[in-house]
Structure 1
Amino acid sequence: MDLPTLEAMFSDIREKTDWDIDGPMLWGYFFTDSSPEQLMVLKGTLEQQGYSFVDLFVPELDEGQDKYYFLHVERVESHTVLSLHERNQHFYALASDHGIGTYDGMDVGPAPALNA
């Protein structure tokens, strides 16, 4: 994902939501591969880096489409366009270093409320 796309994403969130996109948000990150075992190795690495495991799942597939898996991890953190771009570059390299098919990108939502 290039910088102009991320800039547009941040702008869109500012215009269409009441989220504080500049503050702590719940960022989810996705990796795909045909091997759930490879993704579980990556899961361990990501957990050591402070990410929480959410799910390992097979998406809905079209008939005849080869089976593959998604690894979903998340962490509450703050990002700017540039810091998110850097995080994405890190994850592309991490996927490559671990022999993972792809780093598939991220999603974002409000951070969960803390119970005081």
Structure 2
Amino acid sequence: MITRRRTLAIFLAAAVTAVPPAMAQTAQRIQLAQLEEMFANMRARTKWNVDGPMLWGYFFFDPDEEKLQRVATELDASGYCVVGIQQVSGRRLFRLHVERIEAHTPASLHARNTEFYALAEKQGVASYDGMDVGPAPTAAKTP
């Protein structure tokens, strides 16, 4: 089964070089041109309405779970759903996953990424690692 994160990884594979989370803040950030390519790939390779509301997931990493909890609290207050904070398997590193249904263009997603890079820096978090995307869940149909 292909997950949202795997799908996004396929779309970004040619455009974004993977960076170890602890080094991501000093590494090259996701650029607007890479997001434009990602959106073009989603349009070409999926049946998703990429111009409408989608389920966007965002990821932060740090070895200090408490720092991530502060970020989670701030994002929760801003309307994001906190999926959870989990330890990365085999490492002394934690991952915060938040998500929200929203519509993005490459430019608006670039602005969101810029906000999250700044939030990670402000909170002293090792990295904002990027996003994943999938179709927004549909409301259950009533008979």
Q: Shorter-chain TM-score category?
A: over 0.9
Q: CA RMSD in A?
A: 1.0
Unaligned runs of 5+ in 1: none
Amino acid in the other structure paired with 2:116: F
User: What corresponds to 2:75 in structure 1?
Assistant: 46
1:51-97 superposed Cα distances (whole Å, 9 cap, x missing partner): 00112112234xxxx51110000000000000000000000001100
Deviation at 1:24, TM superposition (A): 0.1
- Number of residue equivalences: 112
TM-score normalised per structure 1: 0.93
Distance 2:76 2:135 in 1: 21
- Asked if residue 11 in structure 1 is aligned to residue 40 in structure 2, the reply is yes
Query: 3-state SS of the aligned residue for 1:50?
Result: coil
Structure 2 counterpart of 1:100: 125
- Higher strand content, 1 or 2: 1
Map of 1:23 onto structure 2 = 52
Which 4+ runs in 1 deviate beyond 6 A?
Answer: none
Give the aligned partner of residue 92 of structure 2.
67
% of aligned pairs identical? 48
Looking at structure 1, the residues matched to 126 and 51 of structure 2 have their Cα atoms a distance apart, in angstroms, of: 31
Task: Give the residue type in structure 2 aligned to 1:18.
Answer: K
Q: Confirm or deny that 1:36 pairs with 2:62.
A: no
What per-residue deviation string (whole Å, max 9, x for no partner) do you get for residues 20-66 of structure 1? Answer: 011000000000000011100110000011000112112234xxxx5
Contiguous gaps of at least 5 residues in structure 2 = 1-29
Distance, in Å, in 1 between the alignment partners of 2:98 and 2:42 is: 21
